[in-house]
Amino acid sequence: NKFLYTVDPKIQPCNESFTAYTSLIRECSCQDCSSSCLPPPVIPNDNIIYYKRLKIYELAVICLYVVFLIAFSAYFVTQYVIYRGKSPTTFIDQSLKELIISNTISLSKHDEQSIFPMVEIRGNQFQQKMHKIMQRLLRQWGQIVATNKIIFSIVPILIVVGLASGIAYRFEVTSDPIEIWSPPNSEFRKQKAFFDSNFGPFYRTEQILLKTTNISYTYSKISGFNTTFGPPLRKEILLELFNIEKNIENLAANFVEHNKTKTVTLKDICFKPSEPHNVYCAMFSVTQYFQNNLTRFNATFRGKDWHTHLFNCINRPETISDSDFGSSSCFSDFSAPLNPKLILAGYNEDANEATMLVITYIVNNYKDSELNRPAKAWEAALIAYLKNYKHPQIEISFISDRSIQDEIDQQSYADILTVSISYLVMFIYVALSLGKFSLNNLSTFFVKQKIFLGFAGVFLVFLSVVSSIGLFCFFDFKVNMIVLEVLPFLILAVGVDNIFLMVHEYRRIQAISGEDTLVYPMIGQMMANVGHGMIVSAAAQVTTFSIGAISNIPAVKSFSLFAAVALAINFFLQMTLFLVIFSLDCIREQSKRPDILCFLQFPNAEEDEFSVSISEKCFDLLSSVTLGKYVKPIILFVFITGWFASLYVVPSVKVGLDQTTALPINSYLQEYFKDAFKYLKSGPPAYFM
């Protein structure tokens, strides 16, 4: 009484949910079966229109450039035909003549008693009135500062010292790329903060890339076939790899914690995924196919050696028992399978043909930077060991988690010398440019020098940078490397302009009014003539950089704030302390005392009408060259051609920050990034939450 029934149950697809009895069985996830994965999003077309392999944008730029060439050629050919054979003065337009005449030096119309030259004021009545008020105030300011030297020397010095003391109060430099370039309220920072708070920050990684000067070779004892192995997969190289890893495992470093010196090794800081059952560190290397065991690597089973086991593990890394190699496992000593892409690099299809070995150590990381001090100390010892490693057949490149910040910090310290040299060169340039040179009278030569004045001007620029940094230190601002490396050069470049304006204007006034005229009135008139330009220039510069503070990128925001304040402080010092020093220098020169050695006096020093400064000589030479008949169109053509070329390549500019550009050229990381971009098959993991 037994019957057979055909069982024909419905086969349920894994990518569909269903109910079994009373339980709901969910569909499989995308990472388990591809049928559950949603189709990838459609990447929108870039909507770029081409015309015979040229983008429309590029074609438009080329057409505009052709139009410019035609217009440029037509204009200069016409000018040549019209003015051929005529005097060069014909080229000067009549309106230009009127402009030159209207800007010639004339006596002040509002003060008939004044002996000082004034520039004629053009514009409507309101503009003229405001300009005159400005001149009057600046004239009074110049005379007040020049006659009250003690007050206007002590007060600025006290202010600068007070601001600069902020550096001693709280000076902190950050070189973390995330802190420098990532906006605090950006979506990336929010997601990273969420991840770090819930799962902890991503592990610290130490990676070594190893390549050799050998060539590939063929091994014929794997299933009777010839198998090619890459250059580093030789026994002598792998034995040396075991030795390197053993030395790294035994590395010890000292660090201070709670005023006590402690020692740390790799086992103290490494990530142990199977702890407490397995206390081995997570280390990814080809030696892990042999559980990092040298005895097992040297073993042979039925005539088969490490080649067979390595080949089998590369092709089947999840193998628990390799029957060709004494039932050895392919799992690592920390009980995890190893993807060949993580430990081998520099191959096309077959991983056994790899030209590079990759060794990666995973180290625990913490949000509290104090807890990372042992890891940083050990990483410093690792870097020192790898820098000193030498082998005739092996080349290594490497990176540790602290490497990038270390190299950036080291570059910043090296830039101290560069900044010092730049300030020294600028001081020499200013001193030589301000002074006049005449070999007819040696006494006059020493009297007319402005070495101390040039030093004072450049030193005040340095003080303005220090004061700006100190001020923001009071408000707990962190200083990034861009501020320390770029700000001194920027303020130096724009901060010395007013020095030349003051000196040249004073000499112009002195030449017209006579050398015996009192210094204080001439200082006042100098400020009346150039002070308003200095104010407008400083206001424009400060405003421009202040606008940059609107940016939410920390590097741009902080740099803009530091620069704006530094420029404002520099202008304040020039209007007070430098003006005092300048008036003292004018008195020294009028008393015929040499520069620096002002306790001496040269009564025989006289003004030489042929004496000129180096800057005047340079500009005379430059103007004679650039204003040549054929040079002007050439300069215009080259400049506009360069502008069109820049416009043409603008779309080709890549967005982003290449890590290598932030590193010194001679950094050991340059070689690592070069090898990583060229050989590596995998990068850091991505997380989806």
Residue 143 lies in a domain: yes
3-state SS class at 206: strand
How many domains are contained in the chain? 2
Residue 414 lies in a domain: yes
CA distance 128 to 217: 89
pLDDT band at 285 (very low <50, low <70, confident <90, very high): very high
Q: Are 439 and 542 in the same domain? A: yes
CA distance 416 to 396: 31
**Does the pLDDT of residue 598 top 80, yes or no?**
no
Residue 159 lies in a domain: yes
Least confident of 42-56, 226-240, 363-377, 647-661: 42-56
Model-level pTM greater than 0.85? Answer: no
pLDDT digits (tens, 9 = 90+) for 551-577: 888 889 999 999 999 999 999 999 999
Q: Are 280 and 148 in the same domain? A: no
pLDDT, position 86: 60
Residue 254 lies in a domain: yes
What's the Cα-to-Cα distance from 512 to each of 108, 502, 507, 603, rounded to whole Å?
A: 13, 16, 9, 22
Q: How much is the average pLDDT of 266-281? A: 92
The residue range of the domain holding 378 is: 202-400
Q: Of 572, 599, 626, which residue constitutes the final position of a domain?
A: 599
pLDDT digits (tens, 9 = 90+) for 494-536: 888 888 888 888 888 888 877 777 888 889 999 999 998 999 9
H-run or E-run covering 357: strand 356-363
Q: Of 343, 366, 400, which residue constitutes the final position of a domain?
A: 400
pLDDT band at 109 (very low <50, low <70, confident <90, very high): very low
Q: Are 365 and 415 in the same domain? A: no
Q: Are 156 and 259 in the same domain? A: no
Q: Of 363, 381, 400, which residue constitutes the final position of a domain?
A: 400
Q: Are 358 and 450 in the same domain? A: no
Higher pLDDT, 97 or 80: 80
Q: Label the pairing between strands 173-174 and 479-480.
A: parallel
Residue 195 lies in a domain: no
Q: Are 162 and 225 in the same domain? A: no
Give residue 217's region: left, alpha or beta (phi > 0; psi -120 to 50): beta
CA distance 208 to 310: 20
**Does the pLDDT of residue 442 top 70, yes or no?**
no
What's the Cα-to-Cα distance from 471 to each of 164, 463, 492, 546, rounded to whole Å?
A: 7, 12, 19, 16
Q: What is the CATH number of the domain that holds 482?
A: 1.20.1640.10
Q: Are 224 and 342 in the same domain? A: yes
Q: Are 415 and 313 in the same domain? A: no
